[in-house]
């Protein structure tokens, strides 16, 4: 029997635990299925820690504005919700981006549009990767596909937020949040949580600073937008992360993220056993998107299959990346329907033969 350093946890609780270990000092949330175990974990564990605060806010909008306040005070702060709740938070996220304030926002997404369903879905891709709220901004988006990765990427989300002074999104889904898997935490919670140097904590001994999102001078705002976009260019250069599986000799590459990538990987493994040369590309950062990697793959691979639990959203990023250099097909299930690996395998096998890739 192996030595157990792993614990069994829901994905939701694992995010909470990882956040605490990353030095998250404040959490503000409002209940919504399927992410309540995260709020519950923070209520039970964060509020017991010295100098930390857990608040169940009166609404999602209140929660995101509490995040805004805590971030101004220089502490690591997080909020979480699921699709409809994340829509409510968009104004606050836009303000955080405008004020260059770090924060981690978790979306354990569910079926949409509207109140949708409580089952897992990936239909918030557009919202997550295009900024989400109003104005010219982007947020880094991390897409885990296992409970372990939820924990690891939570840590990375806080680091990215502080490094680039930006809100960072973790885009999971209901299944990842609800399921339990063994998980290992690689960090201990810091005894004294970190505080950013530019925090607003009183102006004793220094000139006062004003942080605001409104200016009546368009050129001042244009300069802010330029400054944000220069930073986004750096993020695009430095932070793209992806995983590949069996792409080296592949004639068909499946592109999928999050839980869908995991399902697709199962299908790709079986396809390989059946002799089909299929590989998988899994973007871990959805923004910045691994466009260069996809273009590189297209030097050898002429057929791509995008598989998502939505009607085809990341599909557009793949098409943009390829610039017509390879053919792209799409398969999706939506509304909270969870596709099976054998279903995806059928799609792969059909496409493979239709396109004559077996010859």
Partner 1 sequence: MLVKTVFAGFGGQGVLSMGLNLTQAAMMEGKHVTYLPSYGAEVRGGTANCTVAVSNEEIASPVASSPEFVIAMNLPSLVRFQNQIESGGVLLFDASLVETEVSRGDIEVVGIPATDLANKIGSPKSANMVMLGAFIKKSNLVSLDSVIEGLKSTFKGKPDLVTINEQALRTGYDLL
**Which DSSP helix (H) or strand (E) runs through 280?**
strand 278-283
Task: Strand 327-332: give its sheet, edge to edge.
Answer: 242-245, 278-283, 252-255, 303-308, 327-332
Instruction: Quickly list DSSP for 106-146.
Output: EEEEBS-STT--SSB--TTHHHHHT-SSSSS----EE---S
**Of these, 19, 77, 108, 175, which contacts partner 1 (CB under 8 A)?**
175
Residue 262 is a binding residue for partner 1 (CB under 8 A): yes
Which residues lie closer than 8 Å to 172 by C-beta, 6 or more apart?
11, 15, 106, 107, 108, 109, 143, 144, 150, 258, 259
Residue 174 is a binding residue for partner 1 (CB under 8 A): yes
Residue 244 is a binding residue for partner 1 (CB under 8 A): no
Stretch that binds partner 1, among 40-48, 149-157, 259-267, 321-329 (CB under 8 A): 259-267
Residue 103 is a binding residue for partner 1 (CB under 8 A): no
**Of these, 57, 88, 118, 221, which contacts partner 1 (CB under 8 A)?**
118
Stretch that binds partner 1, among 77-85, 121-129, 305-313, 334-342 (CB under 8 A): 334-342
As measured in angstroms, the least distance from the Cβ of 168 to partner 1 is: 26
Measured in whole angstroms, the distance separating CA 188 from the mean position of its chain's CA atoms is 23
Q: Which long-range contacts (CB under 8 A, 24 or more apart) does 314-321 make?
A: 314/125, 314/255, 314/257, 314/283, 314/286, 317/129, 317/286, 317/289, 317/291, 318/255, 318/294, 320/291, 321/289, 321/290, 321/291, 321/292, 321/294, 321/295
**Is the CB of 34 or the CB of 102 nearer to partner 1?**
34
Residue 231 is a binding residue for partner 1 (CB under 8 A): no
Residue 41 is a binding residue for partner 1 (CB under 8 A): no
As measured in angstroms, the least distance from the Cβ of 243 to partner 1 is: 12
**Of these, 340, 346, 350, 354, which contacts partner 1 (CB under 8 A)?**
340
- What token pair was written down for 183? 């998980």
Stretch that binds partner 1, among 41-49, 248-256, 257-265, 293-301 (CB under 8 A): 257-265
First-last CA distance in the chain: 47
As measured in angstroms, the least distance from the Cβ of 121 to partner 1 is: 14
| Residue 119: half-sphere exposure toward Cβ, Cα within 13 Å | 9
- What token pair was written down for 112? 């949409």
Residue 4 is a binding residue for partner 1 (CB under 8 A): yes
Residue 263 is a binding residue for partner 1 (CB under 8 A): yes
Measured in whole angstroms, the distance separating CA 201 from the mean position of its chain's CA atoms is 30
Annotate each residue in 11-40 with x if it binds partner 1 (CB under 8 A) or - if it does not, as one string.
----------------------xx------
Stretch that binds partner 1, among 77-85, 177-185, 309-317, 327-335 (CB under 8 A): 177-185
Residue 182 is a binding residue for partner 1 (CB under 8 A): yes
- Residues lying near partner 1 in the complex (CB under 8 A) are found at 1-2, 4, 6, 8, 33-34, 118-119, 174-175, 178-182, 259, 262-267, 269, 338, 340-342
């Amino acid at each position: 029997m192996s030595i157990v350093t792993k614990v069994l946890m829901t994905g939701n609780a694992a995010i909470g635990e990882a956040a605490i270990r990353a030095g998250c000092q404040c959490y503000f949330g409002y209940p919504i299925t399927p992410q309540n175990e995260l709020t519950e974990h923070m209520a039970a564990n964060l509020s017991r820690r010295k100098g930390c605060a857990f608040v169940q806010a009166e609404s999602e909008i209140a929660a995101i504005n509490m995040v805004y306040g805590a971030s101004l005070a220089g502490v690591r702060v997080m909020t979480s919700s699921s699709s409809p709740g994340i829509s409510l938070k968009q104004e606050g996220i836009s303000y955080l981006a405008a004020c260059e304030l770090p924060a981690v926002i978790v979306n354990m997404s569910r079926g949409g549009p509207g109140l949708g369903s409580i089952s897992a879905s990936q239909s918030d891709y557009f919202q997550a990767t295009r900024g989400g709220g109003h104005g010219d901004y982007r947020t880094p988006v991390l897409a885990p596909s296992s409970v372990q990765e939820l924990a690891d990427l939570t840590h990375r989300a806080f680091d990215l937020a502080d490094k680039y002074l930006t809100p960072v999104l973790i885009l999971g889904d209901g299944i990842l949040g609800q399921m339990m898997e063994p998980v290992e935490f690689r960090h201990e919670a810091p005894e004294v949580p970190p505080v950013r140097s530019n925090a607003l904590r009183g102006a004793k001994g220094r000139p006062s600073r004003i942080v605001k999102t409104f200016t009546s001078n368009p050129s001042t705002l244009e300069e802010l937008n330029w400054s944000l976009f220069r930073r986004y260019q750096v993020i695009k250069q430095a932070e793209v992360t992806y995983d590949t599986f069996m792409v080296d000799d592949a004639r068909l590459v499946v592109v999928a993220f999050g839980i869908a990538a995991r399902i697709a990987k199962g299908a790709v493994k079986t396809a390989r056993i059946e002799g089909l040369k299929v590989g998988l590309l899994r973007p871990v950062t959805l923004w910045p998107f691994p466009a260069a990697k996809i273009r590189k793959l297209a030097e050898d691979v002429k057929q791509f299959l995008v598989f998502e639990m939505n009607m085809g959203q990341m599909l557009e990023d793949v098409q943009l990346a390829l610039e017509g250099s390879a053919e792209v097909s799409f398969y999706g299930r939506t509304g909270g329907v969870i596709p099976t690996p054998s279903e995806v395998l059928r799609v792969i096998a059909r496409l493979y033969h239709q396109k004559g890739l077996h010859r």
